[in-house]
Amino acid sequence: MQATRDFSHYVKDAGAGLSHIDLAVEGVSCAGCMSKIERGLSAMPDVTLARVNLTDRRVALEWKEGTLDPARFIDRLAELGYKAYPFETAGAEAAEAEQSRFLLRCLGVAAFATMNVMMLSVPVWSGNVSDMIPEQRDFFHWLSALIALPAAAYAGQPFFRSAFRALRTRNVNMDVPISIGVILALGMSVVETVNHAEHTYFDAAIMLLTFLLVGRYLDQSMRRRTRAVAGNLAALKAETATKFVGADEISQVPVAAIQPGDIVLLRPGERCAVDGTVIEGRSEVDQSLITGETLYVTADPGTAVYAGSLNISGTLRVRVSAASEGTLLAEITRLLDNALQARSRYVRLADRASRLYAPVVHATALLTMLGWVLMGATWHDAIVTAVAVLIITCPCALGLAIPTVQTVASGAMFRAGVLLNSGDSIERVAEVDRIIFDKTGTLTMPELEVVNAADIPEDVFSLAGQLALASHHPVAAAVARASNAKSPLVRAVEEPGQGVRGYVGGIEARLGRPSFCGAERLANDSVNLDPEASTVAFSLGEARYLFSVRQGLRPDAPAMISALQKRNITVEILSGDREPAVQAAARALGVSEWRAGVTPADKIARIEDLKREGFKVMMVGDGLNDAPALAAAHVSMSPISAAHLSQATADLVFLGKPLAPVVAAIDFSRKALHLMRQNLWLAVGYNLLAVPIAISGVVTPLIAAAAMSGSSVLVMLNALRARRVAHGRS
Amino acid sequence: MEVMVILVPLALGLGLVGLLGFLWSLKSGQYDDLEGAAWRAIADDEPAREIPPD
């Protein structure tokens, strides 16, 4: 049964007899790659478009309908040295891209208006101290109004909408004072223009919008980039399932195209990509990605299997079920829903600041107005001064204080291998004083590795590796990886459930169960040494060797755990695995607090306990069983190899094998929170200096414009410091 | 000062042309790949058949 690859699910009709497909490509990093790929693909007949997007690391392809199989593009890219896989834009990502374009349009309009209004304002400012006649000034004011009013109505939409949403739910966010300030400044300026007055604030209002839109756009584009990378990584996992399209006919289809009720084939060594029930076959299944339990589970007809479990020995036929049918999944889903509901509504720093800021500023403006009236000024003059206070208090610096730091910090974290799922996670990570790690797949590597490689002669090892390449068994795969063997042994025969055998120079070589290789005694002796590891025996003629295979710790785990402890963070392990396995890992890492055999509900209970004691808990986990705990914790993190549900629940996702990104996330977040607070104080300090001037009524539009841009630039420059953290800081 | 009757509309018109140019470039997808665009400018030659995406 030879499976064909079927990518028709991803092919879109581009009209005019053309087909379109988007591919995520790994390793595109420079201009050289870009032209190499574009030339390589354009050279294929009937391809009408091949365009690389270097920012998103994707290729868009179009070709004459029905002439090419999309699988050929992937083969062609593999020949060029790039791994690629079809990509389907997720709804959230498409929405982000649209939002990003909208912000850029607003920014374009606001910037155009600012430049042109400034062009009219500067002559007015200089004319006021020289010889400008009032008619000319009025003319310039009217022109400014003509430009600024429609531009503000359009470019202010992101702020007005957000402010309206907040007010409707009886909340205050930063956009409320911004919107009030802009609308009042524009309204007053129109009245002043009608009354032939000397000062208007069209320039200040529109410049405020421009500066804030720059901050919004940067923030948005960083988020979009993170999401694009996460989308690519998901696509490049190339999750396919072998689906029965006839009684004996199978086809390799992307998981996205699988429906409940379909029957899929699961061969030894394959990771199940769907949830379902076994209908035929018998095997052992590694469910560690789901439950954290490293012992294999026996699967026969009627057993439920979940996406992420690894088939070990036999071939299975699985009927795909709808996601929530499984008992384990249903339980986890229920816990997750509860945890998400109970997730404390975290109030962002920006919103906390604006809750303080808005009433203070608006009260100051009101008092200014009343004060001037009491002192005998006309209502008109009092209102003009009050509006000047609102403008000069400039939510500009406040509005930029936090998003700019967030943008810079998330860029730095992105380079350190951390992707942010939620915007406020930086603030929450910075507060963490306790980290709970899951063991399997988080502290340990998701793949098996050979523990005793040093005990085995090199030539024997590479021979065993060659033999192992002929097998699909995951334990054999670990031996093959560790030996760096490139080509399988010719004419090696796999005996299902036993092992592989072949001939090397006339001598029989066997790799498999100890009994298959006649190495029972050796195996009995060594079981005492490492009870956690699976053993695989290798025989060559009369010689017998034993490989000990287990999930190893992440290479830098001990160093990173002690780095975390140095930062005054208590580390704890909560695992669904058996006690000896957890104990061994805890001892190797120097972690004194650990619990084994923990259920998803227990994990939540432990986190709730710690929360009640006042700890800010970060949960780091990958299994499906961790998902509810990830949602319950103050902030959560998952490795990129995690189960889908966990990855979607976690606030941050880290890439690669090392654990270093966890420490980097803590460092960058702490620095970022420090800078955010500093920026807020800078904005407050600026206001303390500027407000008395505004209250005294001597502010001119020139002073307002200078103060506003000065404070914004100061805050932005300070935010740039979030790019670096001091290493080795305790 | 009659010259302002020409200069002011001229300045605004030029600004408007700039804005429309920006909106057009945004619409035609020129900001979708900022990193790639930076490199394309210094690439030796463009691949043979190329149609910009809509």
pLDDT tens figures, B36-52? 888 888 776 655 555 55
Would you give the end-to-end CA distance of chain B in angstroms? Answer: 47
According to the model, what pLDDT value does residue A728 have? 44
Tell me how far CA of residue A410 lies from CA of A213, A404, A596, A650, in angstroms. 18, 10, 34, 16
Torsion of CA B5, B7, B9, B11, to 10 degrees: -170
Interface contact flag, B43 A56, Cβ < 8 Å = no
> Which residues on chain A place their C-beta less than 8 Å from a C-beta of chain B?
30-31, 34-35, 38-39, 42, 48-56, 60, 101, 104-105, 108-109, 112, 115-116, 119, 136, 139, 143, 147
Give the β-pairing of A434-437 and A617-620: parallel
What mean pLDDT do residues A65-76 have? Answer: 85
Q: Any long-range contacts for A235-238 (C-beta under 8 Å, 24+ apart)? A: A235/A24, A235/A85, A235/A86, A235/A87, A235/A88, A236/A24, A236/A26, A236/A83, A236/A84, A236/A85, A238/A85
pLDDT tens-place string over residues A668-724: 999 999 999 999 888 888 888 888 888 888 888 888 888 888 888 888 889 888 888
pTM for this predicted structure: 0.79
What mean pLDDT do residues A610-625 have? Answer: 89
Set of chain A residues whose Cβ sits within 8 Å of the Cβ of B53: 49, 51, 60
Task: Report the sign of the C-alpha dihedral through residues A100, A105, A108, A109, in that order.
Answer: negative
Does residue A526 have a pLDDT over 70?
Answer: no
Q: Mean pLDDT score of chain A, rounded to an integer?
A: 84
Set of chain A residues whose Cβ sits within 8 Å of the Cβ of B34: 55
Of A39, A53, A143, the CB nearest to B36: A53
According to the model, what pLDDT value does residue A730 have? 36
Set of chain A residues whose Cβ sits within 8 Å of the Cβ of B49: 42, 48
pLDDT tens-place string over residues A472-524: 777 788 888 888 877 777 778 877 778 888 888 788 888 888 888 887 777 77
What are the phi and psi torsion angles at A323 (to 5°)? -55, -35
Of B15, B26, B39, the CB nearest to A105: B26
According to the model, what pLDDT value does residue A74 have? 87
Residue % of chain A over a pLDDT of 90? 16
Nearest CA in chain A to B1: A136
Using pLDDT thresholds of 50, 70 and 90, give the confidence band for residue A312.
confident
Contacts across the A-B interface (CB distance below 8 Å):
72
Interface contact flag, A101 B48, Cβ < 8 Å = no
What mean pLDDT do residues A343-368 have? Answer: 80
The string over A233-260, giving b where at least 16 C-beta atoms fall within 10 Å of a residue's C-beta and e elsewhere, is: bbbbebbbbbbeeeeeebbbbbbebbee
- Chain B nearest-CA distance from A116, in A, is 7
Nearest CA in chain A to B16: A112
Query: Contact A453/A461 with Cβ under 8 angstroms?
Result: yes
- Give burial (CB, 10 Å; 0-12/13-18/19+) of A272: buried
What mean pLDDT do residues B5-34 have? Answer: 88
What are the phi and psi torsion angles at A129 (to 5°)? -100, 0
Per-range mean pLDDT, top range of A25-39, A84-98, A190-204, A492-506: A190-204
**Please, what is the Cα angle at A507 between A505 and A513, to 5 degrees?**
130
Set of chain A residues whose Cβ sits within 8 Å of the Cβ of B28: none
Q: Write the ipTM.
A: 0.80
Residue % of chain A over a pLDDT of 70? 95
Active site residues of A: 438
Does residue A5 have a pLDDT over 80?
Answer: no
Does residue A2 have a pLDDT over 50?
Answer: no
- Chain A nearest-CA distance from B40, in A, is 7
Does residue A145 have a pLDDT over 90?
Answer: yes
The reply to whether B11 touches chain A by the CB within 8 Å rule is yes
The reply to whether B51 touches chain A by the CB within 8 Å rule is yes
A65 SS3 class: coil
Set of chain B residues whose Cβ sits within 8 Å of the Cβ of A51: 50, 52-53
Does residue A106 have a pLDDT over 90?
Answer: yes
Using pLDDT thresholds of 50, 70 and 90, give the confidence band for residue A189.
very high
Does residue A545 have a pLDDT over 80?
Answer: yes
Interface contact flag, B36 A54, Cβ < 8 Å = yes
The reply to whether B53 touches chain A by the CB within 8 Å rule is yes
- Chain B nearest-CA distance from A109, in A, is 7
What mean pLDDT do residues A426-444 have? Answer: 89
Cα A286 to Cα A130: distance, rounded to the nearest angstrom: 84
Tell me how far CA of residue A248 lies from CA of A7, A328, A433, in angstroms. 20, 31, 57
Cα A252 to Cα A634: distance, rounded to the nearest angstrom: 41
Using pLDDT thresholds of 50, 70 and 90, give the confidence band for residue A529.
low
Does residue A186 have a pLDDT over 90?
Answer: yes
Cα A25 to Cα B10: distance, rounded to the nearest angstrom: 48
Set of chain B residues whose Cβ sits within 8 Å of the Cβ of A130: none
Interface contact flag, A56 B33, Cβ < 8 Å = yes
Interface contact flag, A143 B26, Cβ < 8 Å = no
According to the model, what pLDDT value does residue A324 have? 45
Using pLDDT thresholds of 50, 70 and 90, give the confidence band for residue A253.
confident
pLDDT tens-place string over residues A381-396: 888 888 888 888 766 7
